[in-house]
Structures are given as structure tokens and as C-alpha cells.
Amino acid sequence: MKRFRTAVIVLGVLVLATVWGLAYLFTDDLVPGDTDVFPVRAPIPDEENGYDLFTDAAENAWPSPLPIASEFQAFGEKADLVLDVLSRRVWDDEVAAGILEQNAEVLALYDAGMARPHLQFPEDMGLAPLVDASAFGWARLMDVVALRAARLGAQGDEEAAFAEALCLLEFGHRIEHGQGHLTAYLRGPCAKGEALRLLRDLAGRTSVGSGQLKAHARRVAAYRVDPEALADAFRCEHERLAHAAGAIKRGEIDCLLNPTEHVGRAAGQFCAYLIQPNRTRRMAAAAFRTYIDNVPRHYADIVPVNHPVPDPLRLRDLLSPNAFGRLLYGFAQGLESALELKCCENVDVGATGALLAMRAFKAENGRLPRTLDELVPDYLDAVPVDDFDGSPLRYSPEKRALYSVGSDLADGGGASKAEWLQDERREYEERGEPFDGASAEADLEPWDLPDPSFPIEF
């Protein structure tokens, strides 16, 4: 009898444990607890929002993102130059004029958009696409605007060229503040990168007065990344991930086990086991809070985010509780790259502002400054900071370069353009390939150098 009672008790405990376990596995958290990781949007009247105008301009920018040869027939023998001129790798004024003529209406839309005080993206609740097709049109629009600025400079209208480049810088800044998801936000650094490259080119050969250069240097310095803008992009990313988790559960997004369209109530219960929106949101919110906390930090101080994502090739992982939710959470992987890009952008802004200030300093003193401290306070309010390690931006008078330690955080002393071209030539010769120095120099970007370096070419 005693054994029977013991068996009954053990069986009862097992049943209760099983019921509790199944309830835990199939029951979602009651509250996701992620309201602090959602963006707060202030309503902007349509007549003050330039988004629709910019979108129309991007959709109609010429040439198309994947152009075909027939688009260039009007350029005759110079058709092969169109894309190189558009990217400013080579220069041909006739081709540049033709490209701008083709984009006259596009540029008018862009100008109308910039005349409006705001740019705010519409709410986007869909999953992030693997390829954001609309981004190509926006990139083409930036190329066209940059080409207009470059042609103004080539024609000797330097003041107008500076104004156009600074306007493109403002365009990128507005994109970053547009409260779009991360893929939309990242169009901003692209526009700002084009503008800063233009400003550095102009600084190397400008004849405008030192007073204007000082004003431009201070204005550029104001376009560092706003931490709240990037934090909002992370919040928007969490918002659409949270919406997607709920939509999959409700059957609004097709998935392998869609309870409303495919396999009925039993599969619906199993889908509840595989996708638990609140649990997914709670897990994602913890990661996005870390991303947001990392935004104001220098690269050296960034806290890594752990992503416990199931292996899609292991059946055990795919059949674990909330497996689809954790796979969905995997969309949050790799967002650390946005933090590294933020640091690159701040270095780019700081170096470009410093180069403009150094150009003004040389115009007034007949020499370059011995240290960047000589620029403060007459030319800059403060020495730019290297956002990778938090130290002042490095300056090598011997190599005539400003430089950053970059993501490896190692100070290699920077590199001059001549050193980089020499290294490139050596690599080509070792491979037995011809080296085109002019083409290599045209393609040279600061981030191609061992220490990201900005040559001083004046």
C-alpha cells in the first residue's frame, strides 16, 4: 500500500511538472516590457516634410541604378564616360553637363525638398529586406547632387560649390534625423560622405577667403552624428521587428506554419510554441537597449551584444521553444557595424572641418599649424576627437596627413598619399599586373589606408 501511495505521488508530481512545463513552453510572456525601446514620433504636416519630394527625385534619378547601354546613346562616343564622370573618377565637362540636363527635374525636386524644414520617413512595419532597392535611387540622387557641386567648382564658382556641398551635408543630416529604420538611416552617412569628399577636394584648391573657410569649418564640425538620431534608428528597427513577430503569430505574414491558412488548430498551437511575440520582443529589447547605450560611446568602449540565435541546420534548435522568434531576433545581428560607421562618420566630419581650418590658417600665416591646438579658438572651437579611442585626432606634419587609429585601435603613425600609392604599386608589381597610378589615386579613400588618413594637399 505504501509503495502504491508513493507511486501515485510520484506520478502526480510528474503530471504536474509536465503540465507546468507544457504551459511554460506554449504560453507567451504576458508583457513584453519594451515600451522604452519604441520611437516617439512628432507629427509633421505634409507641407513641411520633404520626404515625398526626395522619394520622387530618387525614383527618377538618371541613369537608373542598373543602367543599360541604350540609356547612354545620346552621349555618342563618350557614353563609356558617363558612370565614371558621375562618380567623379574622371572629369569631362560636356558629359557632366549632359548628366545634369537629364536630371533637371530631379534636381528641381531635390531643391524643393530642401526648401521644406523637415524630412521624416513614414512608419515601416515590414521586415528588413535583404536588399533595399529604394536605397539605390537615393544613392543615385546623391551622385547627381554631388556632380552639380563639382561642376560649379570646375567652372570657378567656388562659393556656389561650397554652398551646394554644405547643402548635401545638411541633406544627409536630415536623413539621419528622419526617424526611419536602420536601412533608411544609413542613407544619411552616404550623403554626408559625398559632401565631405567634395569639401576636402575644394579645400585643396580653393581661393575663397580665410573668413569663409573658418565659417565653413565651424559649420562642418556641427554635423557630427547626433546620438539621439542613431538611437532612434535602433528604436525603429526594434519596432518593426516587434510588429513582425506579432504579424507572423497572427498569420499576417506567411511562414512555414501559418495557423490561419495552412494546418488548422493543432498547427496553430505548435506555431504558438515556435513563435512567441512577447518573449521575442523582450529578448530583442535587451539587445537594442545595449545598442542604444553604445551609441554615445567611443568604439573602444562599445559593449558587445550577445545573440543566442538557433542554428537553422539543427532540427533540435528549430524545434525548441520560440525558435522562430529567436530566428527573427537574428535580424538584429550585425548592427554593431552601424556603431563602427558612426565612428567613421565622426572622424570624417572632424578631419574635414580641420582641413578647412588648416587651409584658412595657411592663408593667414603662410604655413601649416605645428599642432592642431594652434587652430583653437580662432579657427575651430575644439580639436576634433577620434571617435575610435576618444583621443584627439592625430596630425603628422611630416607626412602631411590627419589620421585616426581606426577600428584596430593601433596608432601606426598615419600614411601619406605617396606612401599608399607606393605600396599599391608594389602589390601590383608582385602580381605582375600593370599599375595605373591616376586611376588608383582617383579611387583612394581615407579608409583604404592602414590608419585611416586624410592627406593635406595644399
In a domain, 248, yes or no: no
DSSP 249: H
Three cell numbers at 288?
A: 537594442
> Is the peptide bond between 63 and the residue preceding it cis, with omega within 30 degrees of 0?
yes
In a domain, 433, yes or no: yes
Please give the pLDDT value at position 256: 41
Report the half-sphere exposure of 232 (CA within 13 A, side-chain side): 20
Whether the predicted pLDDT of 333 surpasses 50? yes
> What is the Cα–Cα distance from 84 to 91, expressed in whole angstroms?
8
- Contact status, residue 270 vs residue 280, Cβ threshold 8 Å: no
The rounded percent of the chain whose pLDDT value lies above 90 is 60
In a domain, 367, yes or no: no
Whether the predicted pLDDT of 299 surpasses 60? yes
Whether the predicted pLDDT of 267 surpasses 50? no
Apex 239 CA angle, 315 and 36, nearest 5? 115
State the residue for C-alpha cell 507572423. Answer: 248
In a domain, 385, yes or no: no
Ranked by mean pLDDT, the top range of 232-246, 318-332, 389-403, 442-456 is 389-403
* pLDDT tens digit sequence for 128-172: 554 566 889 999 999 999 999 999 999 999 999 999 999 999 999
In a domain, 418, yes or no: yes
Apex 196 CA angle, 193 and 403, nearest 5? 95
Secondary structure (DSSP) of 195-211: HHHHHHHHHHH--S-HH
* pLDDT tens digit sequence for 439-457: 777 677 888 777 899 999 9
Apex 322 CA angle, 321 and 328, nearest 5? 150
Segment 392-406 shows an average pLDDT of 96
Domain count, the chain: 1
Segment 408-427 shows an average pLDDT of 86
Segment 67-88 shows an average pLDDT of 89
> What is the Cα–Cα distance from 423 to 378, expressed in whole angstroms?
38
Whether the predicted pLDDT of 72 surpasses 70? yes
Give 59's pLDDT tier (boundaries 50, 70, 90): very high
In a domain, 87, yes or no: no
Whether the predicted pLDDT of 391 surpasses 90? yes
In a domain, 431, yes or no: yes
In a domain, 91, yes or no: no
Please give the pLDDT value at position 134: 80
Range of the domain at 421: 393-458
Give 366's pLDDT tier (boundaries 50, 70, 90): very high
For residue 11, which phi and psi values (nearest 5 degrees)? Answer: -60, -45
Lowest-confidence pick of 22-26, 36-40, 291-295: 22-26
Whether the predicted pLDDT of 44 surpasses 50? yes
Please give the pLDDT value at position 97: 97
The rounded percent of the chain whose pLDDT value lies above 70 is 82
Give 383's pLDDT tier (boundaries 50, 70, 90): very high
> What is the Cα–Cα distance from 119 to 122, expressed in whole angstroms?
10
Give 30's pLDDT tier (boundaries 50, 70, 90): low
Ranked by mean pLDDT, the top range of 6-20, 278-292, 425-439 is 278-292
More confident residue, 320 or 422: 422
Arithmetic mean of pLDDT over the chain: 85
Report the half-sphere exposure of 190 (CA within 13 A, side-chain side): 17
Please give the pLDDT value at position 284: 87
